[in-house]
Amino acid sequence: MRVAFLYPGQGTQRPGMLHDLPGHRAVAATLAEAERVLPGSSRRDGARELRSTVTAQVALCVAGVAATSALTAVGATPDAVAGHSAGAFPAAVAAGALTFAEALTAVRRRAELMRDAYPSGYGMAAVLGLGVAQARRVVESITTAGDPAYLAVVDTGRQVVVAGGARALDRLTAAAAEAGARCVRRLDIGVPSHCPLLDGVAGAMTDHLAVIPRRDITVPYLAGSAARLLHDADAVLDDLARGVATTVRWRDATALLAELGTTLFVQTPPGRVLARMAREAHPHARAVALADTGLTDTAVFIRRARAGPEGRSQGCGSDGNPP
């Protein structure tokens, strides 16, 4: 296993993200299909529009599938795929578990359920500079019976995300600083994802996905919540449903990919945060973001990674990561 595609989740959306996708016919075809399935979904990427949980998650799905389609069209394919939170849906398309139309409908349903469950008073915050055990103790210290907080995402050994009520997140800033955190930053997410508060959403998504035909998985799918590779459609769809209410173990997931021999991590649009985290955690591998390197250069990196050391040594320049 040499090449892994990483698909970002909510919080990474940015204005113009769909308009900035590579200018390739495969991208145009993906955007046209998105319009047929969900009219307007191929162009809703303005700053005000992306404040909506529904619009943001749909746009992330469109961007991930469009980028994969373009890379595949130029002969650059992954050996494994992994999606961070809502990024799991375009990852499932790349794995062969969902069609693009099924993914769009499912991710919109997921986002609507999340929005309706917690229309206000909740959110998420990133904590940088604390170890996971420290962060867990801080979360326990700010939790009350009527105002809960949960450790929702473990991105790295020193970066976690906390979900919960707004007042609990207000207490988080002071408590984390007292514990030695470098920074606490509220995320542009208005619902408490990846914690038991969304158990009801997970149940509804299980019902929604139950009617999806089960297909052979063509590319191994890495479950962020379980940090293990899935090769079975039932397991992938179960992860898509239950992942919304389960802690994301992203640090463990990318560590598994590295242990399995991944030498190149490729982040699909938007942004570069997953590539940056992979680069920092696994400095012996290359990590690139399509948004930075572009379609042609990213495809070259993928082909060289698949060719092994001999392929990378021919005209590659530095073995380090691109800026």
Q: Identify whether 294 is part of a domain.
A: yes
Overall number of domains in the chain? 2
Instruction: Give the count of alpha carbons within 13 A of 279, CB side only.
Output: 16
Has this prediction a pTM greater than 0.85? yes
Same domain? For 160 and 307 the reply is no
pLDDT single digits (tens) 207-251 = 999 999 999 999 999 999 999 999 999 999 999 999 999 999 999
Same domain? For 74 and 166 the reply is no
List 5's β-bridge partners, or say none: 81, 266
Backbone torsion region of residue 322, taken as left when φ is above 0, otherwise alpha when ψ lies between -120 and 50, otherwise beta = beta
Same domain? For 127 and 167 the reply is yes
Same domain? For 231 and 153 the reply is no
Same domain? For 113 and 129 the reply is no
Same domain? For 138 and 88 the reply is no
What confidence score (pLDDT) does residue 318 get?
29
pLDDT single digits (tens) 104-148 = 999 999 999 999 999 889 999 999 999 999 999 999 999 998 889
- Looking at per-residue confidence, does 2 or 307 come out higher? 2
* Non-local CB neighbours of 41 within 8 Å, separated by 6+ positions: 34, 35, 58, 59, 62, 104
Residue 321 has pLDDT above 70, yes or no: no
Same domain? For 279 and 140 the reply is no
Q: Identify whether 158 is part of a domain.
A: yes
Same domain? For 104 and 180 the reply is no
Local confidence band at 323 (pLDDT 50, 70, 90 cut-offs): very low
Q: Identify whether 256 is part of a domain.
A: yes
Q: Identify whether 317 is part of a domain.
A: no
The per-residue DSSP string of 77-90 comes to --SEEEE-GGGHHH
Same domain? For 212 and 246 the reply is yes
What confidence score (pLDDT) does residue 310 get?
53
Same domain? For 146 and 271 the reply is no
Q: Identify whether 23 is part of a domain.
A: yes
Q: Identify whether 268 is part of a domain.
A: yes
Report which secondary-structure segment, H or E, holds 313. Answer: none
Residue 297 has pLDDT above 50, yes or no: yes
- Out of 167, 186, 205, pick the residue that ends a domain: 186
CB atoms closer than 10 angstroms to residue 142: 22
CATH number at residue 162: 3.30.70.250
| Measured distance CA(311)–CA(309) in Å, rounded | 5
Flag the least confident range among 41-45, 260-264, 313-317.
313-317
* Whole-Å CA distances, 56 to 13, 17, 46, 62, 92: 6, 10, 10, 10, 18
DSSP, collapsed to helix, strand or coil, labels residue 312 as: helix
For residue 112, what are the domain limits? 3-117+196-312
| Measured distance CA(289)–CA(15) in Å, rounded | 17
Residue 47 has pLDDT above 50, yes or no: yes
| Measured distance CA(277)–CA(225) in Å, rounded | 17
Q: Identify whether 321 is part of a domain.
A: no
Tokens 């970066």 belong to residue: 159
Residue 320 has pLDDT above 50, yes or no: no
- Out of 137, 164, 186, pick the residue that ends a domain: 186
Reduce the secondary structure of 14-74 to three states and give it as a string: CCCCCCCCCCCHHHHHHHHHHHHHCCCCCCCCCCCHHHCHHHHHHHHHHHHHHHHHHHHHC
pLDDT single digits (tens) 53-110 = 999 999 999 999 999 999 999 999 999 999 999 999 999 999 999 999 999 999 999 9
Residue 311 has pLDDT above 60, yes or no: no
- Out of 163, 186, 209, pick the residue that ends a domain: 186
Q: What is the mean pLDDT of the chain?
A: 93
What confidence score (pLDDT) does residue 56 get?
96
| Measured distance CA(44)–CA(167) in Å, rounded | 32
End-to-end Cα distance, the chain: 24
* Non-local CB neighbours of 114 within 8 Å, separated by 6+ positions: 53, 191, 193, 198, 201, 244
List 310's β-bridge partners, or say none: none
Same domain? For 148 and 57 the reply is no
Length of the chain (residues): 323
| Measured distance CA(132)–CA(311) in Å, rounded | 39
CATH number at residue 246: 3.40.366.10
